[in-house]
Structure 1
Amino acid sequence: MSILQSKAAHQPPFSKTLMSAGLAVAALTLSTSPITAQATGTLAGSKPNILYIIADDLGYSDLSAFGGEIRTPNIDSLVKSGRILSNHHVSTVCAVTRSMLYSGTDHHLVGEGTMGAPNDERRGLPGYEGYLNNHALSIAELLRDGGYHTYIAGKWHLGSLVNSSINKTPDQWGFEKSFTLLGGAASNHFGHDTSAQKTYTENGQYVSLPATDVSGQPWYDTNVYTQKIISYIDADHGDGKPFAAFATFTSPHWPLQVPEPWLSQYSGWYDAGYDVVRNRRLLRQKQLGLVPNDYTVASQTLPDATSASPATANNGKAAASYINANTVETGNLLNVDYGPGLVDPVWNSLTPAQKKTQARYMEVYAGMVSNLDYNVGLLIQHLKNIGQYDNTYIVFHSDNGAEGWPLSAAQDTINASNFNNLGKDQTLRPSGSAATNIQYGLRWAEVSATPFRLSKGYTTEGGTSSPTIIHLPGQTTQYPTLRDFVHIRDVAPTLLELAGISQPSTPSANVGVNNLPLVVYNGRDAYPITGKSYLSELAGLNTGPLHTEAVGEEQYGRAYLRSGQWKALWVEPPLGPADGHWQLFNIVNDRAETNDVSASHPDIVNQLYQSWTDYLHNTGGVEPLRPLGYY
């Protein structure tokens, strides 16, 4: 599809196309075929290629195939010859997810106990280095040593080139060819960085960005990452070796920016506001069979907050008493202190100017998603052009929940006064005009998270549920939605089984944190892979459940523990319970986390809490004395 065709496909106004698009995707999803040996036969033959695509901060419902109104025809086409994973979970933030994706084990063990080194009492502890540490395995290294070409273009966020002894760039972790943004976010998706700024590396060397990409268009990161992956594949094509290419896009992460024609595609689509768009998405998700028909929306959104709720009297003082996920063990629930709440007005509390600005934020965001879809289409079409599509395992998912960075009224005022600059390359804005480095805020994040609760940074379903689509080699029809719970730690063992490569298993004479066993690989001690391969489930050879054991998480002091039908959840006040108790949800029937049943099942809560403390101990994790989100 050309850019002009892509633009034409997006012209109909939102109100006229929403329901027809929903019914079309619903028909697509229901038109499934029985799983045959077609795909599994390919798995048993020559080693398949791997194309692993990651979006950055994409919400659960943004894709058309997951209920969104944003046009994503190329990703929808991937669904037609693949399958949706509706219960795939990542971590709450990007670097932590990526550490588990590449290592196949818990993030506390491999250096990302928090996203970056913590600024609290955990700083300096093992597992809190803030980069992928030397005890991590790397799926890229394992695939390379197993006969694969390995490429990455896009976001890295797991370390940088500090000095000769601390070099954590992708080329040190098994990637033969790499072009990466080292940090967590670009200051400008249109580039302009120089090598002196040390933001981008290619094959381990800092690089300056050119003004244009290989097609002569202004440099824009999503387009360039695609071009890099294609060039890497082409350079080795025909040498008989399979490839594993990781396209780790930074879209639609803030700052919200996208070139034309995508910048103007969605003009007027979001003027109806948060609730209208969210309810329409929920309706489409019901039609698609992604959520039960009795799901509601009103209980999932945060209350109207035109001003911040006050902090407690002792907050920030020596006399303060903070609670964390372990407070239930000590019983210390007196003098619970916490900071102020967030300004988070509902649509009807906004002024006309604020509504116009907020709608524009979402228009730009939607344009970024459509541009991302266009680039996914280029990658898939290229595989077809070179005859490799039928022998390629393709994955698409987001790295965490929707980005809900809180916005202030002052930010909205500045952006409203510079409305015509929103979403553009800020280096080209008119002289004297203010910069507009925009996010889309908590309310649009709630829309992106539909039907789930909260967003990025939280251990709720809205923070950890990732829209995921997988295409098996040789697959030509859509397989039924896989609803079993799978986790980002499961990726590495799945890719290794697909590639016919054994997991490292040579025991080390040394032990890790809390006497955990280590394995030896390439002369160094590493934590073994703890995820489970779900390849058999994808091929229809096993019906699960994949995880019969409890699965836990901790990030920023927020926590969850899943076991069977239950999920215990801890979030600090004021968004969590004021008394600091662990909530309990029947996660099979209530993934929206609307009905806290902890008061009715205190024995289950206690059992899950004990399992969570075991999890934290067994991974070297430490609950902070005062939980604080990355916002």
Structure 2
Amino acid sequence: MQQKMPLRRHRFRKTALGLVALSLALQGCGGSDDDTVATTPPPATLAKRPNILFIMADDLGYSDVGAFGGEISTPHLDALAASGRLLTNHHTGTVCAITRSMLISGTDHHLVGEGTMGAPNDERRGLPGYEGYLNDRSLSVAQLLKDAGYHTYMAGKWHLGSNIATPATPVPLGTAGHTPDQWGFEKSFALMGGAASNHYFHETATSKNYTENGAYIQPGQPGQPGTGSYSTDFYTQRLISYIDANKGDGKPFFAYAAYTSPHWPLQVPEPWLSKYKGRYDAGYEAIRAARIAKQKQLGIIPQDFTPYATDPETLTSSPASANNGTASAKYINAVNGPADGYVDHGAGRVSKKWDSLTALEKKAQARYMEIYAGMVENLDHNIGVLIQHLKDIGEYENTLIVFQSDNGAEGWPIASASTDPKATDEANAADAVYATLGTDNGLTSAKRLQYGIRWAEVSATPFRQTKGHFGEGGVGTPLIVRMPHQAKAAGNFTSFTHIVDLTATFLDAGQAKLPTEAAPPSINAITGVDQNKGKVVYDSRYVYPVTGQSLLQVLLGNSSASVRKAPFADESYGRAYVTSTDGKWKALWTEPPHGPADGHWQLYDLTKDRGENNDLSATNPDVLKGLVTDWKTYMTSVGGVEPLRPVGYY
């Protein structure tokens, strides 16, 4: 357990028996498990199997919703929170596809094909678990609920494989036929990739970016669904049409609203496009401070909580190491550091604070956030339309409604380190261009407008890091749950929860039968490893079981205890983290220059410092050593491979 972590795949392939105990575990945040406030809990039992509506935002930050401290107007989500419950210590993967693979499968992403988002372009390419699509070793929450008698619907972003199944090319599940209909969704309208090039559905006649019920469609072409629509509006109406198609037949439904908002490109129709004009002229620091004050007022964080201090300002890019990009480079990673001769790393980024921006940069930057806020409010409006429709058809009271984001806020740098960082902003501030920002240009590809690192840091308030990282701002997201027949808010649940726990919760609420028959042994002749160890039999396949822990009893008010009883660990892009069984400690690894220059693992006491300000690795070496050992065991259990060169999402 203490030996140096090997890099080759076959040394990591002990499969998944350790997963239940190690990969999906407890993480606490400061305070009690259940805040003591005067509230009315939901009913202690479910009178009947509920409908399930799961709403996923794309790249929304922890504090963007009003109920979590944001200034953006989100009245419908706030109302959902007022009659539901906030889970304030909820976690996802670092990026979209990784999170979505865990939602569908209910287990670790390395096991089911998304070890990284898409097939990696490094030494891991082609290895089991790195296929870049949901592989045939995965269960599906939709299929299991369908087996249990549910209708299953989806509209929005899929991002788990793009090939369609055709009679002319019959192949095993997971090698083609990656569309939602192949994974148990009765009706589906899906964006197959990770991002739309234009939120207004301007697709060519040969586009293969969208499918409906397993067939390619081309929105934007005459007579095609989606043509003339804004994506968030269209996904809402498509999901409503699916629900209505079987209305009144007595079967419950599972509906997955996988919105692409507020993912770039920043676009939104009026009146939302103009609504926030001037609202963000005060800049990053002022907006972030206001959010922190509101979070404390709302009880999202304690009064004595110390937020992350924000990343230091960098007016020039830090240089890469001398051997960066050469064949002789030995990159620092989570298992090899300078003591082992690994010293190389890439260049840093320019990241200014508000007062260091030029007037034109401020003009453009404020506009980006105005458009982003408009997208979030439009998303909230559509969620309101969806909820109102459930009320209109008499299904609202018997529906379990869950809302979250797929990962932390998107902090993609607007300019690369090799260019003048202000050039993009100042060009976008020119009158002719500025007037078009966020509008529909009518083209198949919109301007790839993003709001950048510092606004993402605001969205991640009060936490550290953003999408692609394992700091709390990268994997901590808002979570709102309303149980059937719940009328008033229940107290915030502050124990660690994870996306796979929602999968388990949905299956529990739907009384779905989970496969339990152990898969027969399959010994690899070279390694001697049983490749079926930990798998179960389902539909003539050998698959990894759901390892999330159901939150149903917590949500029903029958328990206030954490559902996690073991360490929790994860890895993506070579970045890593692991938390202790009691939720007190978190070990975090980020490659330099974004992490420590010497490549050491950082250590944080989450009960006192969920903002991750004070690295305690030097004063608690034994704690850190034990956590890193837990992380290595996790990597073995899921077949994970630490890349020779960690290369982050950006």
TM over 0.5: yes
- Provide closer, same or farther for how the CA distance between residues 214 and 260 of structure 1 changes in structure 2, counting only shifts above 3 A: farther
Gaps of 5+ in 1: 1-28
Name the counterpart of 1:24.
Answer: none
Paired residue for 2:152, among 150, 153, 160?
150
User: Offset of 1:249 from its aligned partner?
Assistant: 0.1
The answer as to whether partners of 2:315 and 2:351 remain within 8 angstroms in 1 is: yes
Name the counterpart of 1:313.
Answer: 322
Aligned pairs (5 A) from 1:136-175 = 136-161=138-163, 164=169, 165=171, 166-175=176-185
CA distance in 2, matches of 1:629, 1:593: 20
What whole-Å deviation, never above 9, does each CA across 1:419-463 have from its counterpart, x for those lacking one? Answer: 01100112279xxxx963200000000000000001000011010
Name the counterpart of 2:128.
Answer: 126
Name the counterpart of 2:645.
Answer: 626
What whole-Å deviation, never above 9, does each CA across 1:74-129 have from its counterpart, x for those lacking one? Answer: 00010111000000100000100000011011000000000000000000000000
User: Offset of 1:46 from its aligned partner?
Assistant: 1.9
Partner SS for 1:421: coil
CA distance in 1, matches of 2:44, 2:203: 45
Partner SS for 2:536: strand
CA distance in 2, matches of 1:192, 1:435: 9
Name the counterpart of 1:20.
Answer: none
Name the counterpart of 2:375.
Answer: 368
Matched, 1:69 2:75: no
User: Offset of 1:195 from its aligned partner?
Assistant: 5.2
Name the counterpart of 1:490.
Answer: 501
Matched, 1:545 2:545: no
Name the counterpart of 2:577.
Answer: 560
Matched, 1:521 2:542: no
Paired residue for 1:33, among 29, 36, 39?
39
Paired residue for 1:324, among 322, 333, 351?
333
Name the counterpart of 1:293.
Answer: 303
- Provide closer, same or farther for how the CA distance between residues 213 and 545 of structure 1 changes in structure 2, counting only shifts above 3 A: farther
Paired residue for 2:424, among 399, 402, 411?
411
User: Offset of 1:414 from its aligned partner?
Assistant: 2.9
What whole-Å deviation, never above 9, does each CA across 1:302-336 have from its counterpart, x for those lacking one? Answer: 122222111122211233221111126xx735461
- Provide closer, same or farther for how the CA distance between residues 221 and 513 of structure 1 changes in structure 2, counting only shifts above 3 A: farther
Name the counterpart of 1:421.
Answer: 436
The answer as to whether partners of 1:89 and 1:464 remain within 8 angstroms in 2 is: yes
- Provide closer, same or farther for how the CA distance between residues 425 and 32 of structure 1 changes in structure 2, counting only shifts above 3 A: farther
The answer as to whether partners of 2:74 and 2:377 remain within 8 angstroms in 1 is: yes
The answer as to whether partners of 1:324 and 1:626 remain within 8 angstroms in 2 is: yes
Number of positions where the alignment pairs a residue of Structure 1 with one of Structure 2:
592
Aligned pairs (5 A) from 1:245-324 = 245-297=255-307, 299-324=308-333
The answer as to whether partners of 2:207 and 2:217 remain within 8 angstroms in 1 is: no
Matched, 1:377 2:358: no
User: Offset of 1:73 from its aligned partner?
Assistant: 0.1
Paired residue for 1:471, among 478, 482, 491?
482
Name the counterpart of 1:602.
Answer: 621
The answer as to whether partners of 1:182 and 1:201 remain within 8 angstroms in 2 is: yes
User: Offset of 1:523 from its aligned partner?
Assistant: 1.5
CA distance in 2, matches of 1:141, 1:195: 32
Higher helix residue share = 1
2:39 alignment partner AA: S
Partner SS for 2:495: coil
TM-score normalised by length of structure 2: 0.88
The answer as to whether partners of 2:521 and 2:530 remain within 8 angstroms in 1 is: no
The answer as to whether partners of 2:107 and 2:548 remain within 8 angstroms in 1 is: yes
Partner SS for 2:537: strand
- Provide closer, same or farther for how the CA distance between residues 162 and 592 of structure 1 changes in structure 2, counting only shifts above 3 A: same
More deviation in 239-248 or 505-514?
505-514
1:249 alignment partner AA: Y
The answer as to whether partners of 2:201 and 2:228 remain within 8 angstroms in 1 is: no
- RMSD (CA atoms): 2.0
More deviation in 258-267 or 158-167?
158-167
The answer as to whether partners of 1:211 and 1:219 remain within 8 angstroms in 2 is: no
Aligned pairs (5 A) from 1:214-253 = 218-253=228-263
User: Offset of 1:500 from its aligned partner?
Assistant: 1.2
Aligned pairs (5 A) from 1:47-86 = 47-86=49-88
User: Offset of 1:340 from its aligned partner?
Assistant: 1.0
CA distance in 1, matches of 2:546, 2:222: 41
The answer as to whether partners of 1:213 and 1:219 remain within 8 angstroms in 2 is: no
2:43 alignment partner AA: A
- Provide closer, same or farther for how the CA distance between residues 340 and 74 of structure 1 changes in structure 2, counting only shifts above 3 A: same
More deviation in 204-213 or 194-203?
204-213
Using CA pairs under 8 Å that are at least 6 residues apart, name the structure with larger relative contact order, 1 or 2. 2
Partner SS for 2:535: strand
2:570 alignment partner AA: E
The answer as to whether partners of 1:111 and 1:132 remain within 8 angstroms in 2 is: yes
- Provide closer, same or farther for how the CA distance between residues 212 and 604 of structure 1 changes in structure 2, counting only shifts above 3 A: farther
1:438 alignment partner AA: L
User: Offset of 1:529 from its aligned partner?
Assistant: 0.9
2:442 alignment partner AA: T
The answer as to whether partners of 1:151 and 1:176 remain within 8 angstroms in 2 is: yes
2:634 alignment partner AA: Y
Matched, 1:388 2:395: yes
1:611 alignment partner AA: D
User: Offset of 1:211 from its aligned partner?
Assistant: 7.1
CA distance in 1, matches of 2:217, 2:446: 25
- Provide closer, same or farther for how the CA distance between residues 624 and 227 of structure 1 changes in structure 2, counting only shifts above 3 A: same
Matched, 1:354 2:361: yes
1:387 alignment partner AA: G
1:419 alignment partner AA: Y
User: Offset of 1:517 from its aligned partner?
Assistant: 1.8
The answer as to whether partners of 2:204 and 2:221 remain within 8 angstroms in 1 is: no
| Identity level (%) | 56
Partner SS for 1:258: coil
2:369 alignment partner AA: M
The answer as to whether partners of 1:31 and 1:478 remain within 8 angstroms in 2 is: no
The answer as to whether partners of 1:50 and 1:392 remain within 8 angstroms in 2 is: yes
What whole-Å deviation, never above 9, does each CA across 1:550-579 have from its counterpart, x for those lacking one? Answer: 010000000000112111100001111111
Name the counterpart of 2:459.
Answer: 448
Name the counterpart of 1:577.
Answer: 596
Partner SS for 2:235: helix
Gaps of 5+ in 2: 1-34, 416-421, 523-528
Partner SS for 1:390: coil
The answer as to whether partners of 1:195 and 1:206 remain within 8 angstroms in 2 is: no
Paired residue for 1:616, among 613, 635, 641?
635
